[in-house]
Structure 1
Amino acid sequence: MTAFDVRRTAFALLCSLPVLLTQDYQVPDVTIQALKPRGIRISIPDNPRMTLFVFQGHVNREIDWNDVGTISAEVESPTNGFWTYQDDSVALKVGDVINYNVHVSRNRKGYQRNNLKYTITELVDPDGGASQPSQPSPAPVTTSQPATVATSAPPTGNCRPTATEVKDRNVCSGQVIFEDNFDTLREDLWNIEQYLPLGPDFPFVSYQRPKNGPMVSVENGFLRIEPKLQEQLPGFDNEAIVMDGNKLDLTSGCTRTTSCEHVNQGNQVMPPIASGRVTSNMFAFKYGIVEIRAKLPQGDWLYPDILLESLVPQYGIEKYASGILRVAGALGNSELRKGTENYSNKVLYGGPVMNFKCRTNLLAKKVSTAAWGDDFHVYALRWAPDRITLSVDGEEWGRTEPPASGLQGLLPRDTCDPPRMLLTNPMAPFDVFFRIALGVSAGGISEFPDQVTSQNSVPKPWVNTSNKARAKFISDQESWFATWSQPALLVDYVRVRAL
């Protein structure tokens, strides 16, 4: 993964995270090593309950607290007791000065040290000695400063105050703070993802951005995200995706520091679907109104992701601990039932998700006589400090308001994942910066209940708790692939307004 790939996804981590000014933890000194003949290795020692390490740096020029940096690292897990990032493309020499900022997420809190500096005194052999450093770099010459978050503009002139916050500027009530009408595919606005998604959903897809036949494109003024069979891509066939030892390698251009490759082993076969996903590249906000005009995908076991996701997993990375806000969703099956319960493409669902076991408890549903994928609709979510409201084509259909005990008070404690006592804000975990995410997924272990039957009474081919789930899905390919009449998610526009 190159520094540029990381930079696009890590930019907002420093410039928009509301860091908690607690004194129970001090970010340790960073070890910086310049490598021979090129490269840089950056690390900090592991600490219990750490969940994220972010480094942003410039060589021989100053760095602001909200600057993305030309050297960018986003590390999500430790190795051998250290959180380490290495980029072999960076050319350094003795005397170069690296100005940098550091962020650490630990125990669902964010900690940051800014305006730090390190001077290169030697180039080291990347393979010499231990794989992890034993001594930290010299102490920084400047003191750390807490990160800040842009606040709303004061009421001057026609600018009315708003609860909406944007990471890099002041905004006024009613102002359009983000908009794309998809005249072209703007990679300055969107990061086209490439990685293998894991838990908690474990969908049967990989997100890819191949040069030929891309899954993400703009055609006739619409963003088009269309899944394809992995076996139809160059270098693969129906045997390659299940044969032991075969590999799906997405490390070149991978947009995550983990989950970039898969090797088949037994029932653990590679994802049979290659799909697309985009996230807002340099835009994140807190509270506002999102409007997305879209046509949803249709086809058995498909579903769209039209959602807001936490920019930084401040409340944790497991089991939806940091929450998602689903603007709209509808399963792709034209018919899908479990007893008398309807789960088909005629059922719109959306709202907040903050717990895996109880992921549907706060979701609203709206049943239509026509499939939601038959036409374009304007899906909207109003996210305010006191409520979350859903509407479609101007009609409200869902609302969630926190009680005095907060949103987690709406979930039954005896059946859900353990409550998180650090959610002190009534709207938590939906009280930090979120970004936009759009994509198409398939299968997985959460969206489709067990024991449902599709059209012609075809049963769901896998069981969510089975380690053979993905293999069972592949074995039923002839049945479900024939139903993919319109597998693409089409988006006409995305617009975000301040409250």
Structure 2
Amino acid sequence: MACVANGRVSTVTIVLIVLQVAISQERPDIKVNFEVLKPKGLRISIPDSSSSKISLFAFNGHLNRAIGSDDVGSIRGEVTKATNGRWEFEDPNVELKVGDVIHYYFIVTVDRVGYVIDNLTYTVGNLDNRSGGSNPNCQSSVTVIRGSTTPICSGQTIFEDHFDSLKENVWQIEQYIPIDNPEYPFVSYQRLPSDPTVSIVDGNLRIVPKLQQNQPGFTNMSIFTDNLNLFDGCTAPACSKQPSGADILPPVVTGRITTSKSFVFKYGTVHIRAKLPQGDWLYPEIMLEPFLKKYGNTNFASGVLKIAAARGNKELNSGPQDYGNKVLYGGPVMDFDCRNEVLKKNVLTNGRMWGDDYHEYSLRWSPDRIILLVDGVEWARVEPAVSGLAGRLPRSCNHVPRMLLAGGTRIAPFDDSFYITLGVSAGGISEFEDNLTSKNGWPKPWSNGARKAMLNFWKDLDAWYPTWSQSALLVDYVKVVAL
């Protein structure tokens, strides 16, 4: 019954499990400690036990209203490791006053047995001055790092990598077939033993797409006949594929890396200096993806933040409209059918392409708005309407009622934890509209809704593959700064 996201069971889905496990167990005598900070902030903890082994502490609470043991709290945290003898987390955004009442329950796993301790309240009696830790000038930030209890100061760099080496304790190199990706790209993500898709070259991260038929043991006919087996090192459920008729193997092998295992955060400014890939029907994956998928099982349902993207075709048109490498786009994606309603565009008019040079692409993500910048200059922002970010979209967007029912904030679905994703993809059914033409009026070779879309893309290989002379995504650095 539980949903496992990136190897972790979420607080929402763990409730039913622990209820079943602990129903016949005597509840442990554990007291929750509250430290209410001023001007704002709340620190919640339980003591570590020397006589029994605690492996999880999860808290869910509402301010001045009741909460059920199957609700997700507006005040919530999950801790999987004790620090200095306490299981502690801090929410720096809560502003409380004397007399406020927190209605809460918590989940604790003791000696591998889970317990739900519910129907609890805490009344605020006094406020403690925030010391700011060892930095007396620290101004508390709304930025949150998942799993960290250390106070974060505004302007603090909370993540940075200049790619002097490929730090595999930071970045997970993906290996799987993205069959449940709503963009349905015509690729597989692979960690190749030789001639890798992901590498460090001259101090830059390099992610480059290749052809499956050129890999050892494959030929051009392998697309129709050979099984693709990625079980050794697979990082997602789809680890193999056997082609059948028009349902061929993904013709493109590419790379993707994420911080899903090491760095997950909420709110902040992300800076990525990169040179975007060029080549027909390619596009970069430079984005933030949801960690727990709070608003639905797909990434689009729970929101994706595209920091920067530009289609790889140097010439790409639909009538007078330009869709090629001169057009930068980015912003929130909340629903597959409505993705273009909020995505913003920035067109170069100096004769250059976005893939010709390095640029610093930035995204400032706050509880109030999402701002896109390039080379330090703001070029777009998205702000919630009165009814929230969902209120900016047509009623036909099917995610709207789901977010309202889930009790999301005005910035929902971008009010939960996200991780960084970098990669290169090709084709698919969302990045390239139908009826586009590339160089010399050459038509897009597939229709997005067609059963033979990937096959028709591959059959046009002689037209698009020669354009992939600068097909790599090159990244100089990634940096995240607290708000």
Structure 1 residues 448 and 21: CA distance shift in structure 2, 3 A = closer
Cα shift at 1:242:
1.9
> Of residues 310, 314, 318 in structure 1, which corresponds to 2:290?
310
Give CA deviations for 1:130-177 in whole Å, capped at 9, x if unaligned.
xxxxxxxxxx3x62469xxxxxx8645021111101111321110000
1:266-317 per-position Cα deviation (integer Å, ceiling 9, x unaligned): 1110100000000013101100000000000000000000000001111112
- CA 1:30/1:298 → structure 2, altered by over 3 Å: closer, same or farther? farther
Distance 1:454 1:227 in 2: 20
Contact 1:193 1:208 in 2 (8 A): yes
Mapped to 2, the partners of 1:230 and 1:348 lie a distance apart of 29
On the 8 A contact 2:390/2:400 being kept in 1, the answer is no
Alignment partner, residue 364 of structure 1: 344
| Distance (Å, rounded) in 2 between the aligned partners of 1:397 and 1:288 | 18
Distance across 1 between alignment mates of 2:241 and 2:182: 17
Q: How many angstroms does 1:20 deviate by?
A: 5.8
Cα distance in 2, alignment partners of residues 483 and 172 from structure 1 = 46
Pairwise CA distance, 1:214: 1.1
Q: Is the 8 A contact 1:9 1:191 kept in 2?
A: no
What residue is the counterpart of 1:210 in the other structure?
192
Q: Give 1:65 deviation, angstroms.
A: 2.5
Where in structure 2 are the equivalents of 1:165-176 lying within 5 Å?
165-167=144-146, 168=148, 169-176=150-157
Give the Cα–Cα distance (whole angstroms) in 2 for the partners of residues 312 and 327 of structure 1: 20
Q: Which stretch of structure 1 is more off in the superposition, 155-164 or 327-336?
A: 155-164
Deviation at 1:414, TM superposition (A): 3.2
1:22 is displaced (CA, Å) by 12
Change (3 A) 1:160 1:392: same
1:212-265 CA distance string (max 9 Å, x none): 11100011100000010001111111000123xx21111111101x21111101
Instruction: Tell me if structure 1 keeps the 8 A contact 2:224–2:249.
Output: yes
| Distance apart, 1:475 and its partner CA | 0.4
Partner of 2:32 in structure 1?
A: none
Kept after mapping to 1: 8 A contact 2:57/2:106:
no
- Change in Cα spacing, 1:63 to 1:485, as seen in structure 2 (3 Å) is farther
Choose the corresponding residue for 2:335, options 340, 344, 355.
355
For the structure 1 residues 9 and 195, does the alpha-carbon distance in structure 2 shift closer, same or farther, using more than 3 Å as the test?
A: same
Alignment match, 1:337: 317
Distance in 1, matches of 2:143 and 2:131, equals 12
> Does structure 2 retain, via aligned residues, the 8 Å contact 1:307–1:438?
yes
Q: Is structure 2 residue 164 aligned with structure 1 residue 178?
A: no
Change beyond 3 A, Cα 1:63–1:372: farther
Equivalent in the alignment of 2:355? 373
CA contact (8 A) 1:423 1:429 kept: no
Distance 1:187 1:112, change over 3 A: farther
The aligned residue for residue 432 of structure 1 is 416
RMSD of Structure 2 on Structure 1 (CA): 2.6
Aligned to 1:115: 109
Q: Which amino acid aligns with 1:450?
A: D
Letter in 2 for 1:273: V
Cα 1:471/1:20, change in 2 over 3 Å:
closer
- 1:413–1:419 Cα contact (<8 Å) kept: no
2:383 maps to 1:401: yes
- The residue that corresponds to 1:93 in the other structure is none
Q: How far off is 1:113 after superposition?
A: 4.7
1: CA distance, partners of 2:13 / 2:187: 39
| Superposition deviation, residue 335 in structure 1 | 0.4
Q: Does 1:262 align with 2:259?
A: no
In the alignment, what sits opposite 1:459?
443
Q: For residues 180 and 441 of structure 1, what CA distance do their matches in structure 2 show? A: 22
1:81 matched residue in structure 2: none
Rounded Cα–Cα distance in structure 2 between residues aligned with 1:423 and 1:328? 29
| Residue 116 of structure 1, CA deviation | 4.2
Whether the 8 Å contact between 1:154 and 1:160 is mirrored in structure 2 is no
| Residue identity in the other structure for 2:366 | A
Q: Structure 1: which 5+ residue stretches go unaligned?
A: 1-6, 32-60, 68-110, 119-139, 147-152
Match for 1:380: what amino acid? Answer: S
Partner of 1:491: 475
- Separation of aligned partners in 2, 1:475 and 1:112: 56
2:170 equivalent to 1:189: yes
Distance 1:114 1:238 in 2: 54
Deviations 1:352-398 (A, max 9, x none): 11011001111111000311000000000000010000000011001
Unaligned residue ranges in structure 2 (runs of 5+): 23-51, 59-104, 119-129
How far 1:27 moved relative to its partner?
A: 4.6
Matched, 1:64 2:55: yes
Report the equivalent of 1:103: none
For 2:331 and 2:407, how far apart are their aligned partners in 1?
Answer: 18
Q: Matched residues in 1 for 2:13 and 2:220: separation?
A: 53
Identity of aligned residues (%): 49
Contact 2:132 2:151 in 1 (8 A): no
2:307 aligned partner, one-letter code:
V
Contact 2:314 2:324 in 1 (8 A): yes
Instruction: Give 1:267's aligned amino acid.
Output: A
Paired with 2:452 and 2:242, the residues of 1 have a C-alpha distance of: 15
Residue of 143, 149, 163 corresponding to 2:115: 143
Aligned counterparts of 1:407 and 1:494: Cα–Cα separation in 2: 27
Aligned to 2:29: none
**How far 1:417 moved relative to its partner?**
5.7
Q: Do the aligned partners of 1:319 and 1:355 also contact (CA within 8 Å) in 2?
A: no
Check whether the contact 1:290–1:494 (CA below 8 A) recurs between aligned residues: yes
| Corresponding pairs, count | 385
Q: Give the 3-state SS of the residue equivalent to 1:223 in structure 2.
A: strand
Q: 1:248 aligns with which of 228, 247, 252?
A: 228
Q: Give SS of 1:463's match.
A: coil
Cα distance in 2, alignment partners of residues 230 and 248 from structure 1: 10
Q: Partners in 2 of 1:188 and 1:22 — Cα distance?
A: 27
Cα 1:254–1:474 change in 2 (3 A) is same
Conservation of the 8 A alpha-carbon contact between 2:190 and 2:197: yes
Structure 2 residue corresponding to 1:294, chosen from 274, 294, 310:
274
